[in-house]
Amino acid sequence: MPLEWSGLSPEVLLTLDRDSPRPLRAQLEDQLRDAIRGGRLDVGERLPSSRELARRLGLSRGLVQDCYAQLRAEGYLVSRVGAATSVAAGACPPPAPPAVPEQPPRLLADFRTGVPDLGSFPMADWLWATREAARAMPTAALDYGDPRGSAHLREVIAGYQRRVRAAAADPERTVVCSGYAQGLALTLRALAAAGVRTLAYEDPGAPAMTAAAAAHAGMAAVPVAVDDEGVDVGALTATGARAVLVTPAHQWPTGVVMAARRRLALVEWAAAHDGYVIEDDYDAEFRYDDRDPVGAVQGLAADRVVAIGTVSKSLAPALRIGWLLCPPALTGSVTAYKQLDDRGSPTLDQLALARLLESGRYDRHLRRMRTVYAARREALVAALAAHAPGVRLTGLAAGFHAVAHLPAGADERAVVDAARARGVGLYGMSANRAGKAPQPARIVLGFGNVSERAIGEGIAAIGDLLA
């Protein structure tokens, strides 16, 4: 299908050498032929009018008309009354057939983790917020601006984090970033510049991504075990690390909520070892149990904790908007690295998010999604009770994933492969362990982007594999 360029006279790059002995008309014909043969101009693409091309190249219109007439005679161009001159069918070599990527089989249910309900993205609210932000946006905001991000969004985020997460958030020490990956990378580079050489991380956790990010910053990465109360602070101390990455509100992927005494021990560890805690607050918005909400560890020690937040789980990963609540000692270097990376995140998107937060529409969306995820959570519990009653589920207090504990001796890999053969996507815990150990066998079940119906049908199809 030919490209349709808007405008009365589309641009095309042509250059003429007036010092060449070759006539200008011949040069123009050669360049247009080469552009068509080489695929720069495709079948059906319009050329500039003879008057416009003559003006741009400083030629007479008659010369351009003669050139077009010659190329029409050779079958390269076609024109008709009332229509622009365009590349003729058959003038270009046939394109190579596009490589058809192998399509993955359609799954009955895909329990992939870390993905919110993409179909529930509040598109109408986002478009409204974008229009409102653009309407009120001052001209000065179109400049590069502060690499930390929009002052207005930083103020809104800080207020929101204080209100909802009990964080000690300061707009001056808040840095807007492009999601979790950039936030972690900026933090690790700042820590490495401050002399930190080893990063500890939770095991199970996200070993591949964490190790790669640490290596990119010039740091070593070491795993630290997680138990029923969160990261083992005693084991952390033994590593000699001066930084640790944790998910205290809803441990990834076990779902454990870090106990209060373990939080205090972690803060004490940081103070005693001149260390820093990196808090990934990835899905704390979604809680379902009757216990009091869990606040951010950052609120206990703002000088020792870097809190990373994003809208990837609450809205959608594609927005690529996140933020860092930085300790005073790291704010300057994090800002400098952000400046080097990309000079700041897109301002209009930041202002749209600020408007969404201020208007209450963001909170309204979260309330609706808590109801959606709670219903899916219950559908998962009910489906397993009906089709695999011997399987124990944990990690259900928050978020939109749970952990299924398979019977002793079960082959996790075999279960995953057999489920895939039946059209159900399952994901084993072993991928989240530093040593990839297959035992004890666990399945991490994400239900954020799976409908209640698909959950029921998917579990029904594989219940015997889990039991």
CATH number for position 369: 3.90.1150.10
- With contact defined as beta carbons under 8 Å apart, do 338 and 148 qualify? yes
Confidence of residue 141 (pLDDT cuts 50, 70, 90): very high
Identify residue 357 by its one-letter amino acid code.
L
Q: Can you give the residue range of the structural domain that contains 50?
A: 6-101
pLDDT digits (tens, 9 = 90+) for 388-432: 999 999 988 888 999 999 999 899 999 999 999 999 999 999 999
The answer as to whether 88 is a domain residue is: yes
Model confidence at 334: pLDDT above 70: yes
Q: What are 428's strand-pairing partners? A: 443
346-162-364-380 Cα dihedral, nearest 10 degrees: 100
Range 94-108 average pLDDT? 77
Average pLDDT over residues 322-332: 98
- Predicted confidence band of residue 43 (pLDDT cuts 50, 70, 90): confident
Q: Judging by DSSP bridges, how do beta strands 174-177 and 322-325 pair with one another?
A: antiparallel
Q: In this structure, are 388 and 286 located in the same domain?
A: no
Residue 1 belongs to a domain = no
Q: Is there a single domain that holds both residue 212 and residue 259? A: yes
> pTM for the complete prediction?
0.88
pLDDT tens digits, 382-393: 999 999 999 999
* More confidently predicted of 11 and 77: 77
User: pLDDT band at 289, cuts 50/70/90?
Assistant: low
Among 406, 411, 401, 385, residue whose Cα is nearest residue 450: 401
Question: Same domain, yes or no, for 266 and 288?
Answer: yes
How far apart CA 162 and CA 170 sit, in angstroms, is: 9
- Is 455 in the same domain as 385? yes
Q: Assess contact for 185 and 213: CB atoms under 8 A.
A: yes
Mean pLDDT of 251-271: 95
Residue 164: inside a domain, yes or no?
Answer: yes
Question: 57 with 16: CB under 8 angstroms?
Answer: yes
pLDDT in tens, 235-260: 999 999 999 999 999 999 999 999 99
Average pLDDT over residues 136-144: 94
State whether 23 and 166 are in the same domain. no
The CATH code of the domain that includes 85 is 1.10.10.10
Residue located via tokens 């704010």: 331
Where does the pLDDT of residue 42 fall: very low under 50, low under 70, confident under 90, or very high at 90 and above? confident
Structural domains counted in the chain: 3
What is the model's pLDDT at position 319? 97
In this structure, the answer to whether residues 357 and 444 fall within a common structural domain is no
Please state the rounded mean pLDDT for residues 205-229: 97
Whether 157 and 188 map to the same domain: the answer is yes
How many Å apart are CA 414 and CA 12, to the nearest integer? 57
C-alpha–C-alpha distance, residues 226 and 394, integer Å: 14
Answer yes or no: do 181 and 233 share one domain.
yes
Give the pLDDT band (50/70/90) at residue 5: very low
pLDDT of residue 3: 42
Q: Are residues 203 and 345 in the same domain?
A: yes
Same structural domain, 166 and 206: yes
The pLDDT value recorded for residue 98 is 76
pLDDT at site 10 = 65
Last residue of a domain, one of 331, 363, 395: 363
State mean pLDDT over 81-99: 78
438 within some domain: yes
**Cα(313)–Cα(299) distance, rounded to whole angstroms?**
22
The mean pLDDT value for 268-280 works out to: 97
**Is the pLDDT confidence value at 9 over 60?**
no
pLDDT value at position 2?
45
Rg (CA), the chain: 29
Residue that is last in its domain, among 101, 130, 149: 101
Residue 354 sits in a domain whose CATH number is 3.40.640.10
pLDDT of 290 reads 61
Q: What confidence category does residue 7 fall into, taking pLDDT thresholds of 50, 70 and 90?
A: very low
Domain boundary among 306, 337, 363: 363
Answer yes or no: do 210 and 145 share one domain. Answer: yes
Q: Output b/e per residue, 309-327; b: 16+ Cβ within 10 A.
A: bbbbbbbbbebbbbbbbbb
In this prediction, residue 105 has a pLDDT band, given cuts at 50, 70 and 90, of confident
The verdict on residue 28 lying in a domain is yes
> 332 lies in a domain?
yes
Examine the domain organization and report whether 252 and 397 are in the same domain: no
Average pLDDT over residues 71-82: 87
Instruction: Answer whether residue 126 shows pLDDT above 80.
Output: yes
**Tens-digit pLDDT profile for residues 146-186:** 999 999 999 999 999 999 999 999 999 999 999 999 999 99
